[in-house]
Amino acid sequence: MRDDPSLRDKPLAVGGRPEQRGVVATCNYEARKYGVRSAMSTAQALRRCPDLVMLPPAMEKYRIASRQILSIYRDYTELVEPLSLDEAYLDVTEASSLHGSATAIAQEIRARIFETVGITASAGIAPNKFIAKIASDWNKPNGQFVVKPQQMDAFVSVLPVARLFGVGKVTAAHMNRLGVQTCGDLRTWSLHALMQEFGSFGERLHDLCRGIDERPVNPSRERKSVSVEETYAIDLPDLAACRREMAELLVRLDERIRRARAEGDIGKLFVKLRFDDFTRTTAECVATAVEAETVDQLLETGFGRRRRAVRLLGVGIRLAARSGGDQLHLFGET
């Protein structure tokens, strides 16, 4: 939309092609009016919105924009924790810019992003990460929302429990059946009762429904794996076909490992398969290098568990903990 203004009033999505079992990576607000959302299959998105304009991803363009945005953030604080290419937490508690006003800093950052990158941005300002994340969604697109310390209790009490970290559709539905709709409802449960019903997650629920989140903004997040995968337009019918495709995946994996400078940090090797009935399996082993023979053995093991046509194939490494030196940073993880 930034680069082609003619697209601005049209339903637009970025993702894979329907004939290749593509999925929607993201979409604009015009598309969302039709029920299109990220992670939806492209075919389903086009059924909901026949006029949807589908564009392929342009990752290098996104990386350039992300680097520009992160550079702006770091003009205000070194405590920047990226969550994705376009989202991050900033701790501006000790910031000196604009008299340390978090609201003014957010306004200036949003203006600079628009001037420098040409896109709008939204912000949430709050005393902790949990509430700031929710507040950042409050006035989208191109807005910001402030939750002051004295407003936290009232703000959180009316939040639907589905907004809590870790509460998915299944857990939210279970809570609703128990008569719990909002965080205020959840507060009536004791810590003991929550842990009896939800296990160790109950302790986290006890804090979040009260707006308590002690997690610091962490500017260094360690990368734990490097992998590649491919979803095929036509299912791979047998092990031989999987082996032919694995050769190409290994080339891509090698390139990605080099870019991550992870050659010396390999701890495990794994192969992932998703079969035509959507069941999944992963075979892995301890390894210090990516060897084609070992990958082939893992592929044979994984395929042998179902012996069905394969729709997705992946291969990757899990990184061993470094004994010293700098950590690997996962760029773009927000």
Q: Mapped to the 3 state alphabet, what secondary structure does 206-251 carry?
A: HHHCCCCCCCCCCCCCECCEEEEEEEEEEEECCHHHHHHHHHHHHH
Whole-number average pLDDT of the chain = 91
Residue 332 counted as domain residue: no
Average pLDDT of the segment spanning 125-146:
94
More confident residue, 95 or 192: 192
Point out the residues that are catalytic: 87
pLDDT at 247: 94
pLDDT tens track for 14-37: 998 888 778 899 999 999 999 999
Domains in the chain, number = 4
Both 136 and 103 in a single domain? yes
pLDDT at 334: 31
Q: How confident is the model at residue 86 (pLDDT cuts 50, 70, 90)?
A: confident
- Residue 192's domain comprises 152-208
pLDDT at 323: 47
Q: Is 277 annotated as a binding residue?
A: no
Q: How far apart are CA 93 and CA 108, in angstroms?
A: 16
pLDDT at 333: 33
Q: Chain centroid to CA 28: how far?
A: 17
Both 22 and 48 in a single domain? yes
pLDDT tens track for 143-199: 999 999 999 999 999 999 999 988 988 899 999 999 999 999 999 999 999 999 999
pLDDT at 328: 34
Residue 278 has pLDDT above 60, yes or no: yes
Both 172 and 138 in a single domain? no
CB of 197 closer than 8 Å to CB of 175: no
Q: Is 9 annotated as a binding residue?
A: no
pTM exceeds cut of 0.75: no
Both 156 and 108 in a single domain? no
Average pLDDT of the segment spanning 52-58:
94
Q: How far apart are CA 130 and CA 126, in angstroms?
A: 9
CATH code of the domain containing 158: 1.10.150.20
